[in-house]
C-alpha cells in the first residue's frame, strides 16, 4: 500500500498490482464467498447483491487497481487508503480553480440543499421544473412499485421532452421494465465513455443515460395499486373444499362451471393471489400509454384491473 501511494503512473501501478495478483485474488474470493454476512453492515441489501452473479470483489480490485490511477485521480480510494486528499487527487469541487465558482453559485442561491426521500422532495417543486436527474444506484434498493411511485413524480416535474436522467446499477443490464421506453444513449457510446472514464468506485456494473420522452411521445408512468387481498384460514378451507371434495353437478358446460365456482367465487382472488407470483411484476412492468385503452382478454374477476 505504501508503494502504491508513490506510483507515478497507471502503468507503474498496474505492474505493481500484478505482483500481488495471487494474494488479491485469494482475498477477493474469500470476501465474495462471505458477502451475505458482511454486505448488510456496509449498507448493501440482499436485493442489490442478487443483481450481479459474478465475483464483484474481484471486479472491484481489477477496476480500481488496473484501470484507475489511485495517486493521480482516484480520490475515492486515495481517501479510503490514506485518510487524506492531495491537491492533485481530490474532488473537483475542492480544487482551487473550481472552488471559487462553487462558492459564487452558493451565494447566488443556485444550490438548494434539501433532506428527505427523493420522490417527496421532488414533488414539492412546481411541474415542469427539472431538466436533469442524477439518481446514483438507489433504485437497486427499491421494489418496482416504489420505483414507479417515484418516477410518476419525476415525469410530472420534468420539462416535457427535454429532461435527461443518469443512474448506475449493480446489475449489468437495465432491468427496470417501465424504464425501457426511455430514449437511451446507445450502448456503443456508453461503452466508449466508460472505457475513457472508468468508474473510479468500481462497485457498479452499468451506468445509464437517457432522455425522458414527453407525454405527447407516448411516455408516462402511472403508479399501480399494490393489490394484495387479505386471506384467512376459512377462505382457504372453502376454496380447497370446492376444488377437491365438492362434487361438480349439472348437465351443460355453464351449469358445471357455476357448480364449481359458486361456493368459492368470493374467495377466488384471495386464494389464487398467493401462487400467481408473476401477476404483480407483470402488471408493474407493463407500459402505460396516455389516454390508452385497457383490453383484458379472459379477465375473470378483473383482479388485473384492480
Q: Global pTM?
A: 0.78
- What pLDDT was estimated at residue 242? 84
Between 63 and 198, residue with greater pLDDT: 63
Under the banding of pLDDT at 50, 70 and 90, the label for residue 87 is very high
- What pLDDT was estimated at residue 245? 85
- What pLDDT was estimated at residue 157? 96
Residue 287 has pLDDT above 80, yes or no: no
17: left (phi over 0), alpha (psi -120 to 50) or beta: alpha
Ordered strands of the 163-169 beta sheet: 132-136, 163-169, 206-212, 183-184
Residue 131 has pLDDT above 90, yes or no: yes
What distance in Å separates the CA atoms of residue 102 and residue 107, rounded to the nearest whole number? Answer: 9
Contacts of 110 (CB under 8 A, 6+ apart): none
Question: Mind listing the pLDDT tens digit for each residue in 215-233?
Answer: 888 788 877 777 777 778 8
- What pLDDT was estimated at residue 292? 78
Secondary-structure percent of the chain, ordered helix, strand, coil, rounded to 5 = 50, 10, 40
Q: Supply φ then ψ for residue 165, to 5 degrees.
A: -135, 140
Question: Mind listing the pLDDT tens digit for each residue in 137-159?
Answer: 999 998 888 898 899 999 999 99
Domain ranges of the chain: 2-92, 114-217, 233-272
- What pLDDT was estimated at residue 285? 80
Residue 291 has pLDDT above 80, yes or no: no
Residue 135 has pLDDT above 90, yes or no: yes
136: left (phi over 0), alpha (psi -120 to 50) or beta: left
Residue 258's SS3 state is helix
Average pLDDT score over residue span 37-62: 88
What distance in Å separates the CA atoms of residue 186 and residue 200, rounded to the nearest whole number? Answer: 22
Pairing of β 163-169 and β 132-136: parallel
What distance in Å separates the CA atoms of residue 149 and residue 225, rounded to the nearest whole number? Answer: 10
Average pLDDT score over residue span 25-32: 95
Residue 11 has pLDDT above 90, yes or no: yes
Question: Mind listing the pLDDT tens digit for each residue in 243-258?
Answer: 888 888 999 999 998 8
Long-range contacts of 95-104 (CB under 8 A, 24+ apart): none
Burial pattern 281-297, b for ≥16 Cβ within 10 A else e, equals: eebbbeebeeeeeeeee
Residue 261 has pLDDT above 90, yes or no: no
What distance in Å separates the CA atoms of residue 127 and residue 158, rounded to the nearest whole number? Answer: 7
Residue 184 has pLDDT above 90, yes or no: yes
Amino acid at each position: 500500500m505504501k508503494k502504491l501511494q508513490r506510483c507515478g503512473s497507471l502503468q507503474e501501478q498496474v505492474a505493481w498490482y500484478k505482483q500481488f495478483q495471487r494474494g488479491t485474488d485469494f482475498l477477493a474470493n474469500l470476501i465474495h464467498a462471505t458477502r451475505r454476512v458482511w454486505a448488510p453492515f456496509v449498507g448493501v441489501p440482499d436485493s442489490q447483491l442478487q443483481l450481479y452473479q459474478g465475483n464483484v470483489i474481484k471486479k472491484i480490485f481489477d477496476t480500481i487497481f488496473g484501470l484507475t490511477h489511485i495517486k493521480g485521480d482516484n480520490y475515492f480510494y486515495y481517501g479510503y487508503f490514506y485518510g487524506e486528499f492531495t491537491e492533485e487527487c481530490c474532488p473537483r469541487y475542492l480544487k482551487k480553480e473550481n472552488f471559487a465558482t462553487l462558492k459564487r453559485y452558493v451565494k447566488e442561491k443556485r444550490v438548494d440543499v434539501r433532506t428527505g426521500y427523493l420522490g417527496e422532495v421532488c414533488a414539492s417543486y412546481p411541474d415542469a421544473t427539472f431538466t436533469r436527474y442524477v439518481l446514483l444506484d438507489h433504485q437497486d434498493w427499491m421494489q418496482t412499485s416504489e420505483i414507479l411511485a417515484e418516477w410518476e413524480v419525476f415525469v410530472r416535474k420534468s420539462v416535457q421532452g427535454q429532461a435527461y436522467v443518469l443512474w448506475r446499477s449493480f446489475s449489468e443490464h437495465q432491468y427496470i421494465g417501465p424504464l425501457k421506453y426511455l430514449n437511451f444513449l446507445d450502448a456503443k457510446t456508453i461503452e466508449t465513455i466508460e472505457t475513457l472514464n472508468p468508474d473510479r468506485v468500481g462497485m457498479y456494473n452499468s451506468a445509464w443515460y437517457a432522455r425522458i420522452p414527453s407525454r405527447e411521445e407516448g411516455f408516462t408512468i402511472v403508479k399501480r395499486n399494490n393489490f394484495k387481498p387479505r386471506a384467512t384460514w376459512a377462505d382457504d378451507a372453502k376454496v380447497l373444499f370446492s376444488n377437491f371434495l365438492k362434487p361438480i353437478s349439472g348437465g351443460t358446460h355453464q351449469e358445471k362451471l357455476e357448480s364449481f365456482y359458486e361456493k368459492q367465487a368470493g374467495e377466488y382472488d384471495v386464494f389464487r393471489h398467493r401462487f400467481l407470483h408473476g401477476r404483480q411484476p407483470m402488471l408493474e412492468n407493463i407500459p402505460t400509454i396516455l389516454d390508452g385503452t385497457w383490453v383484458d382478454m379472459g379477465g375473470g374477476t378483473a383482479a388485473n384491473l384492480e
